[in-house]
Amino acid sequence: MTPQHPERRSDHTADLVVVANRLPVRRSSGDDESGEWTVSPGGLVSALAPVLADRKRFAWVGWPGSADGPTEPFTHEGMRLVPVHQTEDEYSRYYEGMSNGTLWPLYHDKIEPAEFHRTWYDAYRQVNQRFADLAAEIAAPNATVWIHDYQLQMVPGFLRALRPDLTIGFFLHIPFPPGELFRQIPWRKALTIGILGADLVGFQTPAGAFNFARLAESLNLATRISSDTLGRNGRRIKVKSFPIGIDADRYAEGANRPDIAQRAAAMRERLGNPKAVLLGVDRLDYTKGIDVRLRAFKELLSEGKLLADEVKFVQVAEPSRDGVDAYVALRERVQGLVGEINGDFAEVGVAPVHYIHQSQDFDELMSLYRCADVMMVTPFCDGMNLVAKEYVATRHDDTGVLVLSEFAGAAHELSDALIVNPYDIDGLKSALLEAVFLDEDDAKRRMRSMRTLVFENHASRWAESFLRELARWSTSLAQAPAAPQKPAATQ
């Protein structure tokens, strides 16, 4: 597809185009046409909002949330929104299949087996092409396009072919796996070539950037020019880490409200005013390590190192992908562990584990963070994990202890947390004991240090730093000699 009249400028083109799996809005009452649109509360929306507010011409390309959603561009609260239509069958194969049945488990160290189906890949490729087509149509001449995440890895390459005038950035929000895992994908070259269509490729951690650069070289798709630069077909591609942050002020202000303090106190009273409240807040996902932390807690109770009437464990597990077998099995496993612990250690009216299999609104989440003495973030593998940063941002009095998996991207920044290997149940038990009985001065020193970092590396700073680096890199590319050639490969 060739963009129509790329030299012509109109109010319907954009100088900055964000391309993400979902639009930043959702129906306020169901998915029918009578529902009104509201801005989604997601982390990406929060991170980009300050950046987009300064842009007079921007657009967001994404799926509207249902097969019967709008098909024509529309405007909401000043945002130009471009919906990408998908049939229910396409969504099932592209998103539930290739994105979350193949890429998600493989990128998370194959904690659950990845499946490889040609029909899934075909839909993934077709939908990625559709995203690229719409981005090409909406982008003004020489515009900047920022593409997000694992669902859209082929979009940069497709868009580069359609619109070589564009400056293209791509950011992966989840981990990028070692080459030994990625090479198992039958379509590994096509996916890699897709990402290499970007001028700047961003990852949460240096390890992700290293894994991708090494993979591109090993597949003979790019040549290493410098530690953070690849060359392909005469182009230079920057590969770099940009750890994402949160809107720290929003969480700090929300948690510091008097009504939230009252709700947190009431919550603690309902728990029996224990000496310590442990908290986990996760999607119910097999990557999060929920079952392992429950087993660690159970063993500590069995050994008498923690007492059920003195320490309470609140686990929020937001429903996720309830129709997928691996998630159904995890839900049953977690519910079984909760039942075992409460059956073995509960007294009448008092349970050591309070399990909440529901989504929490912002106020309830702030109350939980304020109530908790120890926050447990122990994923087996995670790109960043913003829950860790959210908890830190809410601790205005510098109290609280964060127990954090070394395999979460956040561990690269929040080194004053109690860092654990979530596969080591004895190490996890030791960390939980240390967290419960940590010296108050030491706990406050650690929390102050982490709060400083979370407030410095906030969400809008992340977005600004990526776009600033993309603009700087684009300028330098215009002045640089051609990069070493690599033969083009078909996708």
Q: Which pLDDT belongs to residue 7?
A: 40
Cα 443 to Cα 418: distance, rounded to the nearest angstrom: 10
Work out the average pLDDT over 399-408: 98
For residues 55 and 271, the model is more confident at 271
Q: Which residues contact 280 (CB under 8 A, 6 or more apart)?
A: 290, 293, 313, 314, 315, 316, 317, 375, 376, 377, 378
User: What is d(CA 383, CA 171) in angstroms, rounded to the nearest whole number?
Assistant: 11
Q: How far apart are the first and last CA of the chain?
A: 16
Assess whether pLDDT exceeds 80 at residue 482. Answer: no
Can you tell me the mean pLDDT for 365-374? 98
The share of the chain scoring above pLDDT 90, in percent, equals 82
Tell me whether residue 490 is in a domain. no
**338 & 471 share domain:** no
Quick one: pLDDT at residue 10?
46
Residue 388 and residue 309 share a domain: yes
Specify the pLDDT at position 478: 79
Could you give the count of Cα atoms lying within 13 Å of 79 in the half-sphere of its Cβ? 24
Q: Is residue 486 part of a domain?
A: no
Same domain for 402 and 324: yes
In this predicted model, what pLDDT tens digit does every residue of 197-254 receive, in sequence order?
A: 999 999 999 999 999 999 999 999 999 999 999 999 999 999 999 999 999 999 999 9
Predicted pLDDT of residue 487: 55
Tokens coding 26: 């959702």
Calculate mean pLDDT across residues 97-126.
96
Domain of residue 448, CATH code: 3.40.50.2000
Q: Of the candidates 214, 260, 269, which has an alpha carbon nearest to the alpha carbon of residue 239?
A: 214
pTM, entire model: 0.92
| pLDDT tens-digit map of 174-191 | 999 999 999 999 999 999
- Give the span between the Cα atoms of 125 and 230, in whole angstroms: 24
> Is the per-residue pLDDT at 3 higher than 90?
no
Same domain, yes or no: 181 and 266 = no
Q: What is the pLDDT of residues 131-155, one digit of tens each?
A: 999 999 999 999 999 999 999 999 9
Q: Is the dihedral of CA 36, 40, 41, 46 positive or negative?
A: negative
pLDDT recorded at residue 447: 98
Q: Are residues 427 and 327 in the same domain?
A: yes
The answer to whether residues 187 and 330 belong to one domain is no
Q: Are residues 18 and 123 in the same domain?
A: yes
324 and 351 fall within a common domain: yes
Looking at the fold, whether 383 and 346 belong to one and the same domain comes out as yes
3-state secondary structure of 118: helix
**Residue of higher predicted confidence among 42 and 357:** 357
Is 308 in the same domain as 275? yes
* HSE (side-chain half, CA atoms, 13 Å) at 12: 12
436: domain range?
248-457
* Average confidence score pLDDT of the chain: 92
Q: Closest by alpha carbon to 15, among 67, 58, 50?
A: 58
Confidence grade of residue 172 (pLDDT, cut at 50, 70, 90): very high
In a domain, 484, yes or no: no
pLDDT computed for residue 485 by the predictor: 65
How far apart CA 491 and CA 10 sit, in angstroms, is 33
Q: What pLDDT does 321 receive?
A: 78
Structurally, how many domains does the chain consist of? 2
